[in-house]
Amino acid sequence: MSNKLNRADLEGLKTAYLQHLVLRNLSALSVKQIEQALRIFMGYLKGRGINDAGALDAEVFEQYKAHLADGYVSRRGKPLAVNTIRERLLIAQRWSKWLRKKGVLFFDPLAAVQLPRHRKGFPRGVMRPDEIRKVMELPDLNMPLGYRDRTMMEVLYATGVRCAELLNLRIPDLDWEKKTARVRNGKGGKDRFVPLTSQCCRFLERYLNEIRPQLMEVMRPSGRLWKQKAGTGGDKIFVSLYGGPLSKNWLAMTMKRYIDRAGVTRPVSPVHSFRHSVATHLLEDGMDVRYVQVLLGHESINSTQIYTHVERATLHRLLKEHHPRELARETPQPFKIEEEAHAAA
């Protein structure tokens, strides 16, 4: 393959690398994110007159790192987060390493460049159990679309699946006997099995038997392209009111409306907040972090550990709210040595 790759054709090298990732069964979302990062990197290189992969060196890459940190802003006009910068640099390094492996480069010029340290932040938008309950009570279960939306919430909160994972769930992925769902091609291109709660199974069963068939028959036209999309949901579990696939943007906007109506005023990620919430609640109720890791599909337990920090923060809050010594509201009495020191002063 190496003799077919031209190191002076950056676009061709990018395309070949993306094809390699597709063959490795990487998810479409991951490939799209990698393509975007490489496109930005190559745009920077071309802006500096570099059109040959052989001209890459550590100095150029260090300058690109500084450019991302100081001179690059997002679409919203804000500087990039440290973890975003790290991820973009890491993608470029992996691409360079692949070029070396394929013989396009004689050595990997980007390998020695140090990346910014990964910063672990608290999960954004963990909802309390009572807030989850308020959100779930909002869909009208007497209406097909309301019942579908409630079923999606039940699956999100029962399994902690990501947005794309939920929308890609298919009917054959459900195992009613074992009460599990197979999440195909999750993050990193890996499959996993997630358990379903009894409540979730009840909603899913009625939805699939009564509600989804109505949606597949095109309940109501929506949008200009509904005819082309009508009935195209295939065997996906959740479909639109015209039987077509649902988009991530639609799901995010729909969940945000419910969350706003429930009175949750602090910032939350509309779909991911269910994932953060179930992980936090399970840890607070005593589930081992290793089982939560498997449920969420984290490759490393370090990714799951962030929820233990939320658990501790909740523990401190509950301690202040319920511990007898906190509720006493006693005025602290100074020690005798403190009184003597104060008198001497």
List, by residue number, the catalytic residues.
Answer: 162, 187, 272, 275, 298, 307
C-alpha 241/C-alpha 231 separation (Å) is: 10
* Single-letter amino acid, residue 116: P
Mapped onto helix, strand or coil, the DSSP state of residue 6 is coil
Contact 138, 262 (CB under 8 A): yes
The string of DSSP codes covering 100-143 is: HHTTSSSS-TTTTPPPPPPPP-PPS-PPPHHHHHHHHT-S-TTS
What phi and psi values does residue 323 have, to the nearest 5 degrees? -70, 135
* Beta-sheet strands, E only, within the chain: 174-175, 180-183, 192-195
C-alpha 280/C-alpha 229 separation (Å) is: 38
Contact 148, 259 (CB under 8 A): no
The residue behind tokens 């060196």 is 57
CA–CA distances in Å: residue 182 to residues 159, 187, 194, 238: 11, 13, 6, 15
Please report the sign of the dihedral spanned by the C-alpha atoms of residue 325, residue 329, residue 335, residue 341. Answer: positive
C-alpha 207/C-alpha 110 separation (Å) is: 52
Contact 6, 12 (CB under 8 A): yes
C-alpha 147/C-alpha 172 separation (Å) is: 21
Q: Helix, strand, coil proportions of the chain in percent (round to 5)? A: 60, 5, 35
Provide Rg for the chain, Cα atoms.
Answer: 26
Contact 117, 134 (CB under 8 A): no
Contact 135, 127 (CB under 8 A): yes
